[in-house]
Structure 1
Amino acid sequence: MNEFQHSETTRNEQPIAIVTGANAGLGFETTKALAAKDFRVIMACRDLEKAKKARKHILNCHGNAKLEIRELDLSSLKSVRSFASEFKSENEKLDLLINNAGVMMPPYHRTEDGFELQLGVNYLGHFLLTGLLKEELTTSKSSRIVTLSSIAHKNAEIDFNDLQSENSYSKFKAYGQSKLACLIFSLELERRLKANSLSHVSSLAAHPGVSSTELMRHLPGWLMLMAKPMEPFISHSAEKGAQPTLKAALDKELAGGCYIGPDGFREMKGEPAEAEIARQAENKETAAKLWAVSEDLTGIKFLS
């Protein structure tokens, strides 16, 4: 049995996965791969029309795939709560949560809850979602939470004095902060799960390297133009970019607290392997402070 292979299951034993942002890019490729491995996948998407098209495409490849579309807008805490409530009313357990959806370097915008968009969507929405689904994750005999970070976390810091970029906004800085927050959260979540004797639940993180997806749409035109000739050498497809996520989700030899990314030059592309974690992501004082701030902002307390 290889690392991505799943054992045969009966319908009642079929594992359940939630993938946020499942309609495009990394989320689509992750969903397609999980569907092929006998998961029942909840496609948690903001754009339902795109989700329907994605679902149809996957079914054309895997006719027996079990795919369900549910609306989830991570820029709205109300939407996150509604999604979680609907899932909980229909399911007693959750085996795999992939915190994948995100935005990258858009113009300054606030969510309906007043959060800087990248922090709100990439991190705070997923923090709330994970907390709301804790009971279902712990009911599973063995579950995993995989949160997507980025190589951009290496040059980032958490600016607690201007967390929402109200004083000044740099799309690059805010993106890096949001992805650093995701990695800090994943590592701190693992520590808290084990401290609460929930060893059957594991938290891991992954990053895709440099992958050509819709996330790139907000990058400056001059940067895209300059990068185009180098693209074959510094980036890979969304299918390849999803491999670290899938390894983190399915490789039973990996322990909680692992961070998976491409193994090539500067982790931009390559085969999935353990990735470098920047020093600031492992600071436990920062992690505790970020957790407390996140609880206050989202209105949920869990594993405290």
Structure 2
Amino acid sequence: MPGWNATNIPDQRGRTAVVTGANSGIGYVAARELARRGASVVLACRSAARGRAAATRLHGEVPGAEAEFAELDLADLASVREFAKAFGERHAALDLLINNAGVMALPYGRTADGFETQFGVNHLGHFALTGLLLPRLRAAASGARIVTVSSGFHALGNIDLDDLAFERGYRRWIAYGRSKTANLLFTHELSRRFTAAGSTLVAAAAHPGYASTNLHAGATADGGTLYARGVALANDVIAQPATGGALPTLYAATAPGVRQDAFIGPRFGWRGAPARSWRAKWTLDDTSGERLWSASEKLTGVSYGSLPG
């Protein structure tokens, strides 16, 4: 793991990958580097214009790449179902699902289905997507993985299972932290269920540390000019570029020996080569994981069944 970088990604020829939020930032870098190593990559993005532009850019940077754009709005479960249906019609198997897309510290809002936006996009959208793509993941020859991108900001707070809609005193950074905790609890519970079912599928999580990406745009909304300038300065001085921020995700997705429920981040917390990351103890709680899973199935209408495979 020391010094691991994109040149260490194993050959991905013959493998198919879906990367959500791949039009920019670490999602785009992850998609590009997987394509560079031979994977057939689907750039799953909310904006058709930005998604197509990203696919064009990728083909320019990686001549001969197998990469295509597909529309996916994680804030709308109908869009998630449409994406999964279309993918299943075009692809027999899925080797790698990277649940990367997300929003950060937005003012209070609701998704098309009425969920608090950050919880709805960051967790519920990906929960539904993963469940709907599970048959294609099970159809992969071997070594299929699901990597969900969380954040060190999960430490801002545990989820409140009695107020998942954050109806009691909304605080946007706490809501973001809870959604990132939900990502880790989802990975923990998914890993536990894969193990219990004897599945060969692996669920892992990653975080980029402090990476300069478009994700910060939402965090500056309604924050004032001084706040926005502070974020911009931190991005310039402290943050690592998206190429570095994507490495933990790429490691979790492709490196040999990644175990169930692994959490990979930068070695020094905010930047550096991939390494095992600290995580809050509440993200490893079986009871919370089970309760969140049950609530997520009910809210999304997506059931994973007994997880054979």
TM-score range relative to shorter protein: over 0.9
Q: Is the 8 A contact 1:26 1:213 kept in 2?
A: yes
Number of residues paired by the alignment? 296
Q: Is the 8 A contact 1:146 1:206 kept in 2?
A: yes
Q: 1-side partners of 2:277 and 2:130: how far apart?
A: 23
Equivalent in 257, 272, 278 of residue 274 of structure 2: 272
Partner residue, 2:184: 183
Three-state SS of the structure 2 residue aligned to 1:300 is coil
Residue type of the partner of 1:40?
Answer: S
Q: 2-side partners of 1:46 and 1:223: how far apart?
A: 27
Gaps of 5+ in 2: none
Equivalent in 250, 260, 263 of residue 264 of structure 2: 260
Q: 2-side partners of 1:226 and 1:93: how far apart?
A: 45
Q: 2-side partners of 1:8 and 1:130: how far apart?
A: 21
Partner residue, 1:75: 75
In the TM superposition, residue 256 of structure 1 has moved relative to its aligned partner by: 1.9
Higher mean C-alpha displacement, 280-289 vs 156-165: 156-165
CA deviations over 1:249-303 (Å, ceiling 9, x no partner): 0101221211000111xx1111111100111101111001000000000001114
Residue type of the partner of 1:294?
Answer: S
Matches within 5 A, 1:158-197: 158-197=159-198
Q: 1-side partners of 2:217 and 2:39: how far apart?
A: 31
Three-state SS of the structure 1 residue aligned to 2:68 is strand
Q: 2-side partners of 1:24 and 1:120: how far apart?
A: 21
Three-state SS of the structure 1 residue aligned to 2:215 is helix
Higher mean C-alpha displacement, 220-229 vs 22-31: 220-229
Partner residue, 1:301: 303
Gaps of 5+ in 1: none
Equivalent in 210, 225, 229 of residue 225 of structure 1: 229
In the TM superposition, residue 92 of structure 1 has moved relative to its aligned partner by: 1.4
Q: 2-side partners of 1:130 and 1:231: how far apart?
A: 31
- Relative to structure 1, the CA distance from residue 54 to residue 229 in structure 2 (aligned partners, 3 Å threshold; closer, same or farther) is closer
In the TM superposition, residue 72 of structure 1 has moved relative to its aligned partner by: 0.3
In the TM superposition, residue 217 of structure 1 has moved relative to its aligned partner by: 0.7
Three-state SS of the structure 2 residue aligned to 1:160 is coil
Three-state SS of the structure 2 residue aligned to 1:162 is coil
Q: 1-side partners of 2:93 and 2:274: how far apart?
A: 28
1:28 aligns with 2:38: no
Residue type of the partner of 2:190?
Answer: L
Q: Is the 8 A contact 1:4 1:246 kept in 2?
A: no
Residue type of the partner of 1:183?
Answer: L
1:117 aligns with 2:122: no
In the TM superposition, residue 231 of structure 1 has moved relative to its aligned partner by: 4.3
Q: 1-side partners of 2:82 and 2:63: how far apart?
A: 30
Partner residue, 2:47: 47
Partner residue, 1:151: 152
TM-score norm. by structure 2 comes to 0.92
- Relative to structure 1, the CA distance from residue 87 to residue 293 in structure 2 (aligned partners, 3 Å threshold; closer, same or farther) is same
CA deviations over 1:75-128 (Å, ceiling 9, x no partner): 000000000001111111100000000001111110110100000111000000
In the TM superposition, residue 187 of structure 1 has moved relative to its aligned partner by: 1.4
Partner residue, 1:4: 8
Residue type of the partner of 1:239?
Answer: T
Q: Is the 8 A contact 1:23 1:50 kept in 2?
A: yes
Residue type of the partner of 1:58?
Answer: L
- Relative to structure 1, the CA distance from residue 233 to residue 276 in structure 2 (aligned partners, 3 Å threshold; closer, same or farther) is farther
Q: 2-side partners of 1:170 and 1:215: how far apart?
A: 18
Partner residue, 2:88: 88
In the TM superposition, residue 155 of structure 1 has moved relative to its aligned partner by: 2.2
Residue type of the partner of 2:206?
Answer: A
Three-state SS of the structure 2 residue aligned to 1:49 is helix
Residue type of the partner of 1:56?
Answer: T
Q: Is the 8 A contact 1:102 1:121 kept in 2?
A: yes
In the TM superposition, residue 137 of structure 1 has moved relative to its aligned partner by: 0.6
Q: Is the 8 A contact 2:9 2:250 kept in 1?
A: no
CA deviations over 1:157-204 (Å, ceiling 9, x no partner): 111222111232111011001010001101111110111110x21000
Partner residue, 1:211: 211
Q: Is the 8 A contact 1:192 1:303 kept in 2?
A: no
Q: 1-side partners of 2:286 and 2:226: how far apart?
A: 39
Q: 1-side partners of 2:257 and 2:37: how far apart?
A: 18
TM-score norm. by structure 1 comes to 0.93
Partner residue, 2:38: 38
Residue type of the partner of 2:16?
Answer: I
